[in-house]
């Protein structure tokens, strides 16, 4: 997260709810990241809602595992503080080692952990929770950042974890919907306080029950927009057709309402994915690769594996150019964060290969 932006340095000007709490950058399809401007009102409202549901009390102990470059770290750091609970900061090394993280949870007698599905799988791969050190009674697990696989949902509940699925884009302040998972299928959840969920067609009409449409979000959590990107702000934050003077955020998520009132995720309407909880525009990676003189064409995709999604880049070199995929990854790593560098790559249609 960045330092507060536009906060007044004049002691006579009081900080108010519309000042920015932070600007955090997300992936951009043109190779230019987008700075999302989140207000203090949105952040404080979010935290107060989370304090109620899924809930946090002064007796809770939350182990924080999320990098500050990911906005859900705000829940792990601030929610315990406003609730009188205790927060334990896990080191980067611990968060990458399922055994070490499990030992930390046991040592601190943790009652709450928030992680992506990939993080939960890492923890479970160590065998945690171990029979020699059972879970703290009422242990609560928050899972978000990417789709919660049915097998993982069932497995975590089998361990006695009170499991909550969390959903929300950065532009609407961390999480916008949550619901306790019952069974193996996780839905997007129900709107948090003062948040509206709309499933709309291309003409911004409400989609009928069971009919797929794009999810639009409204309410207190909406960000101010994108820093220095007025045109993009206008494109993604649209006028609310149901409430004069309000706005809705276009999530790009394809969803539909079920008869039981649950919101079912169907996929994306754009070229955006999530890997290990990080939102990624595949076009941004492609743009960086195409900027290299030795690359003629490129396609980046996400492939599902046993450990979750992984990025794969298929590259066509320029004529008479020999490409070294290791070198390409190293070069890309100088321009993009680690989680956006494809771990697997291949040469496709090379004119000097038969």
Mean predicted confidence (pLDDT) in 80-106: 97
pTM: 0.78
> CB–CB of 346/303 below 8 Å?
no
Phi, psi of 38 (to 5 degrees): -105, 130
pLDDT-based confidence at residue 352 (cuts at 50, 70, 90)? very low
Residue extents of the structural domains in the chain: 20-268, 273-347
Mean predicted confidence (pLDDT) in 211-237: 96
> CB–CB of 247/197 below 8 Å?
no
pLDDT at residue 125 is higher than 70: yes
Mean predicted confidence (pLDDT) in 314-336: 86
Mean predicted confidence (pLDDT) in 175-181: 96
Distance, CA of 249 to CA of 222 (rounded, Å): 7
Q: Report the pLDDT value the prediction gives residue 287, as an integer from 0 to 100.
A: 75
Q: Report the pLDDT value the prediction gives residue 27, as an integer from 0 to 100.
A: 77
pLDDT at residue 254 is higher than 70: yes
DSSP string, 148-199: --HHHHHHHHHTT-EEEEEE--GGG-S-SEEEE--SS-----EE-TTEEEEE
Peptide bond connecting 129 to the previous residue in cis, omega within 30 degrees of 0: yes
Mean predicted confidence (pLDDT) in 283-300: 82
Mean predicted confidence (pLDDT) in 16-22: 94
Q: Picking from 26-30, 293-297, 322-326, 330-334, which range would have the lowest pLDDT averaged per residue?
A: 26-30
Distance, CA of 215 to CA of 200 (rounded, Å): 6
Peptide bond connecting 225 to the previous residue in cis, omega within 30 degrees of 0: no
Distance, CA of 332 to CA of 329 (rounded, Å): 5
Q: Picking from 76-80, 83-87, 184-188, 284-288, which range would have the lowest pLDDT averaged per residue?
A: 284-288
Mean predicted confidence (pLDDT) in 277-306: 80
Query: What CATH number belongs to 20-268?
Result: 3.40.50.12780
pLDDT at residue 206 is higher than 90: yes
Q: Picking from 101-105, 111-115, 338-342, which range would have the lowest pLDDT averaged per residue?
A: 338-342
pLDDT at residue 4 is higher than 50: no
Superfamily grouping for domain 273-347: ANL, C-terminal domain (3.30.300.30)
Distance, CA of 273 to CA of 257 (rounded, Å): 22
pLDDT at residue 347 is higher than 70: no
| Secondary structure of residue 117 in the 3-state scheme | helix
């Amino acid at each position: 997260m960045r330092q507060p932006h536009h906060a007044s340095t004049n002691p006579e000007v009081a900080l108010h709810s519309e000042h920015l709490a932070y600007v955090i950058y997300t992936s951009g399809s043109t190779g230019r990241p987008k700075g999302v401007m989140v207000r203090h009102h949105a952040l404080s409202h979010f935290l107060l809602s989370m304090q109620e549901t899924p809930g946090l009390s002064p007796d809770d102990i939350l182990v924080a595992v999320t990098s500050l470059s990911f906005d859900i770290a705000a829940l792990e750091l601030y929610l315990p503080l406003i609730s009188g609970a205790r927060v334990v900061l896990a080191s980067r090394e611990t968060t990458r080692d399922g055994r070490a993280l499990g030992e930390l949870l046991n040592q601190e007698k943790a009652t709450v952990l928030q992680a992506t599905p990939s993080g939960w799988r890492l923890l479970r791969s160590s065998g945690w929770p171990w029979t020699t050190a059972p879970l703290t009674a009422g242990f609560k697990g928050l899972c978000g950042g990417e789709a919660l696989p049915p097998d993982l949902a069932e497995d975590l509940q089998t361990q006695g974890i009170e499991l909550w699925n969390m959903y929300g884009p950065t532009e609407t302040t961390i999480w916008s919907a949550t619901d306790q998972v019952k069974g193996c299928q996780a839905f997007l959840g129900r709107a948090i306080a003062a948040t509206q969920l709309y499933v709309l067609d291309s003409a911004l009409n409400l989609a009928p029950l069971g009919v797929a449409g794009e999810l639009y979000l409204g309410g207190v959590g909406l960000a101010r927009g994108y820093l220095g990107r007025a045109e993009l702000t206008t494109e993604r934050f649209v006028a609310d057709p149901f409430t004069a003077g309000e706005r809705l955020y276009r999530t790009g998520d394809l969803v539909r309402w079920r008869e039981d009132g649950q919101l079912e995720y169907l996929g994306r309407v754009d070229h955006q994915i999530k890997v290990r909880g990080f939102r990624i525009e595949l076009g941004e990676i492609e743009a960086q690769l195409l900027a290299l003189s030795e690359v003629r064409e490129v396609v980046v995709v996400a492939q599902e594996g046993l450990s979750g999604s992984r990025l794969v880049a298929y590259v066509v070199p320029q004529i008479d150019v020999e490409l070294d995929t290791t070198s390409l990854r190293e070069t890309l790593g100088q321009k993009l964060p680690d989680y956006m560098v494809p771990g697997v790559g291949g040469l496709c249609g090379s004119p000097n290969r038969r």
